[in-house]
């Protein structure tokens, strides 16, 4: 077998697993992808919009499910590219989400000074008022020794939305001093970094579940309703953000280098189940690669963060599978409904609707068919 000149970006939920159950086609796909020595025959990076877990744990979980050793640096979580936002790493940030939140923010991403929503709640008990059971029975003394918060870090959907929505709003409206009241809300507001814009995701239930994108939608809507202004992000990561794909491309390149594959990786194939994140993101990145060829990527600098070496990647094709969010007949899938009306747009506010961007290069039943298709196209059949 010659050296690979292509690699895979694989989504996890709805492509390889549903909840904690591995999809049988994923096991077949990896029997094709892994050689007799248990090593991948082509570079593979797992690109998930999940974030409420540590990278090592996700790699471990995948190793068990798929039956071969997945390395932590083959896994990109929705917030992984936040490592690049070093200008915010020293700021005191309120962090929202669940799972190993603080460990993710500090050890994996480099934020040195984080405060959780719960810590803020304890410091200012009178802020959290929705749940009658949790309201303080006596009026606590106001705190004046709590250092100002300098930014907001949204790593994934939290558990108690009403508490998080209320306290994050308090931070934004008070310019980081939620114990005080300001006559007018500051604008522009404190920096907000967020990851994972998925409105919906597919677990074991028959219908899709709310994703972090639904939480962001709530926050954006409340902010606009209360202030009359738009909530703005300094960074929005996870698929379909180009930054996530640049990050994935770099990991694919390093993987090929480590394996001693000298031929540059020219084609990426992104396999996913969600037209709005997986297909849109791969197509957006492909569009960026085509523009970069003509204009030189320097002028394009997506928010100027990844001033990469000239990339060998020529294209990124999107492959949509029918084992997750997308199903040809499902409610809100990308097929026009009866009467030809457009399906609702499930994407994030900041990624405008472009019909051509949610058109997959290929639609197949499952990830095994996706791998077969790519091997056939690349003459590896």
pLDDT of residue 328: 83
**Same domain membership, residue 315 and residue 189:** no
Pair 303, 173 in one domain: no
On the question of pLDDT at 299 being above 90, the answer is no
Domain-located, residue 91: yes
> What does pTM read for this prediction?
0.90
What CATH number does the domain containing 187 carry?
Answer: 3.40.50.1000
| pLDDT tens column, 173-197 | 999 999 887 888 999 999 999 999 9
Percent of the chain with pLDDT strictly greater than 70: 93
Q: Check whether residue 183 and residue 305 sit in a common domain.
A: no
Domain region containing 223: 81-236
Question: How far is C-alpha 215 from the geometric centre of its chain's CA atoms?
Answer: 14
Question: Are 110 and 189 part of one and the same domain?
Answer: yes
Let me know if residue 314 belongs to a domain. yes
229 and 326 together in one domain: no
Which one has a higher pLDDT value, 372 or 310?
372
Residue 302's pLDDT is what?
A: 47
**Can you tell me the mean pLDDT for 54-81?**
96
pLDDT in tens, 231-285: 999 999 999 999 999 999 999 999 999 999 999 999 999 999 999 999 999 999 9
Number of domains in the chain: 2
Residue 95 belongs to some domain of the structure: yes
Return mean pLDDT, the chain. Answer: 91
Task: Report the distance separating Cα 307 and Cα 299, nearest Å.
Answer: 10
Residue 318 lies in a domain: yes
- Confidence bin at 344 (pLDDT 50/70/90): confident
C-beta neighbour count of 183 within 10 angstroms: 4
Mean pLDDT over 24-30 rounds to 98
Residue 265, in any domain of the structure: no
Within-domain flag for 310: yes
Question: Among 75-84, 308-317, 342-351, which stretch is predicted with the lowest mean pLDDT?
Answer: 308-317
Tokens of 86: 């070093």
The closest of 381, 375, 379, 380 to 8, measured between CA atoms, is 375
pLDDT for 304 beyond 70: no
In a domain, 166, yes or no: yes
Same domain, 183 and 315: no
In whole angstroms, give the CA distance from residue 314 to residue 306. 17
Please give the residue that has the higher pLDDT: either 312 or 41.
Answer: 41
Q: Is residue 331 pLDDT above 50, yes or no?
A: no
Q: Are residues 213 and 317 in the same domain?
A: no
**Are 217 and 317 in a shared domain?**
no
| Residues 206 and 114 placed together within one structural domain of the fold | yes
Based on the fold, state whether residues 312 and 197 are members of the same structural domain: no
Q: What is the mean pLDDT of residues 290-294?
A: 84
Alpha-carbon torsion (56, 57, 58, 60), positive or negative: positive
232 and 303 in a common domain: no
Structure confidence at residue 342 as a pLDDT band (50, 70, 90): confident
Asked if the model's pLDDT at residue 337 lies above 60, the reply is no
**Domain contains 6:** no
| Shared domain check, 86 and 155 | yes
N residues, the chain: 381
297 pLDDT above the threshold of 80: no
pLDDT for residue 62: 96
């Amino acid at each position: 077998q010659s050296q690979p000149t292509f690699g895979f970006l694989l989504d996890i939920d709805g492509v390889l697993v549903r909840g904690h159950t591995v999809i049988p086609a994923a096991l077949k796909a990896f029997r094709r992808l892994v050689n007799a020595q248990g090593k991948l025959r082509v570079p593979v990076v797992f690109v998930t919009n999940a974030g409420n877990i540590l990278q090592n744990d996700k790699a471990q979980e995948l190793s068990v499910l798929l039956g071969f050793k997945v390395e932590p640096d083959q896994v990109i979580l929705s917030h992984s590219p936040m490592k690049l936002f070093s200008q915010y790493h020293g700021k005191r940030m309120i962090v929202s989400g669940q799972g190993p939140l603080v460990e993710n923010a500090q050890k994996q991403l480099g934020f040195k000074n984080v405060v959780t929503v719960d810590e803020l709640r304890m410091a200012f008990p009178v802020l959290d008022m929705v749940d009658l059971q949790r309201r303080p029975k006596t009026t606590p003394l106001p705190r004046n020794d709590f250092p100002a918060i300098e930014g907001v870090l949204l790593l994934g959907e939290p558990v108690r939305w009403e508490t998080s929505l209320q306290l994050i709003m308090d931070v934004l409206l008070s310019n980081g001093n939620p114990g005080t009241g300001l006559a007018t809300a500051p604008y522009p507001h404190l920096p907000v970094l967020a990851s994972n814009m998925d409105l919906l995701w597919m677990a074991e239930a028959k219908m899709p579940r709310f994703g972090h994108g639904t939480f962001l939608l709530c926050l954006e809507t409340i902010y606009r309703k209360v202030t009359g202004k738009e909530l703005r992000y300094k960074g929005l990561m996870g698929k379909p953000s180009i930054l996530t794909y640049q990050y994935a491309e770099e990991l694919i390149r390093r993987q090929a280098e480590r394996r001693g594959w000298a031929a540059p990786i020219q084609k990426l194939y992104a396999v996913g189940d969600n037209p709005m994140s997986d297909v849109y993101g791969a197509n957006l990145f492909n569009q960026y690669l085509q523009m970069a060829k003509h204009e030189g990527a320097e002028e394009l600098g997506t928010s100027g963060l990844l001033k990469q070496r000239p990339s060998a990647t020529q294209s990124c094709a999107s492959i949509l599978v029918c084992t997750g969010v997308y199903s040809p007949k499902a409610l809100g899938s990308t097929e026009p409904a009866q009467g030809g009306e457009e399906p609702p747009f499930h994407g994030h506010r900041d990624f405008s609707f472009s019909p051509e961007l949610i058109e997959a290069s290929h639609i197949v039943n499952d990830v095994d068919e996706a791998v077969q298709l790519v091997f056939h196209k690349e003459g590896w059949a």
